[in-house]
Amino acid sequence: MFFNDAGFGADRAGAAALPLLDSDGIAAATVAADSACIGDGGSTLTQGIISAVNETAYRLGARVGATALEVARAVAERSE
């Protein structure tokens, strides 16, 4: 799952859901608000730059600085 970090906000609230999803084994990452439009899934996927990842996503190859599209493609290839 990809979310916009909305500039993170106070206490990194923009990435607060990542550990919660991780506890259920759901890979999740945020993209930087200045790289993609908030609330626009197409922009998130095609323009988003990863700003934070949870452990599950990290194990699948997600890294800060990669594009969301690169991460999505890499995860899809691993599941084939």
pLDDT for the residue numbered 25: 95
Residue-number span of the structural domain to which 25 is assigned: 2-78
Please name the amino acid found at residue 36.
Answer: A
Give how many domains the chain has, as a whole number: 1
Please determine, for residue 36, whether its predicted confidence score (pLDDT) is greater than 90. Answer: yes
Please determine, for residue 69, whether its predicted confidence score (pLDDT) is greater than 80. Answer: yes
pLDDT confidence tier of residue 8, bands split at 50, 70 and 90:
confident
Average pLDDT in the 16-38 region?
Answer: 95
pTM of the model: 0.89
Please determine, for residue 2, whether its predicted confidence score (pLDDT) is greater than 80. Answer: yes
Residue 2's beta-bridge partner residues?
A: 29
39 φ/ψ sector (left φ>0, alpha ψ -120 to 50, else beta) = left
